[in-house]
Amino acid sequence: MSETKPSVLFVCVHNAGRSQMAAAFLTHLGADQVQVRSAGSAPANTVNPAVVEAMRESGIDISAEAPKILTTEAVQASDVVITMGCGDACPYFPGKRYLDWQLDDPAGQGVAAVRPIRDEIERRIRGLLAELAIEPAA
């Protein structure tokens, strides 16, 4: 891990749903103890509105977020890279910790279908924080 604080990158294809929720939960629960990035191999134009609404229900506003393109620099600058349906589009660098989270894709789904995905991502983020020895913020 970095000498200062650990850095985590979340990657999915469109950077409009799963990776946005994961980044928001880690930013929220990790407070300033972890550096968080998210990106997509083929980013959408906007974050999925159902994802924005589902996160709002959890008290986290991601309405100002925008999908970002995955760069080699983002991967190189991260200690942990978590992919979510990224496939082979995610570059591999030795020395990085890679995790692949198999999660349903919220694309084209309503808020009711996004809620269980959101809840599973939050559960996994809390587990990641425990692995990183970071106490979640209240």
Q: Which positions are catalytic?
A: 12, 86, 90
Residues 6+ apart with CB under 8 A from 124: 22, 101
Dmax (CA) of the chain: 41
Q: Which two tokens stand for residue 51?
A: 């994802």
Q: Which two tokens stand for residue 52?
A: 């924005």
Q: Which two tokens stand for residue 64?
A: 């100002």
List for the chain the helix, strand, coil content (%; round to 5). Answer: 35, 15, 50
The amino acid sitting at 83 is T
Residues 6+ apart with CB under 8 A from 108: none
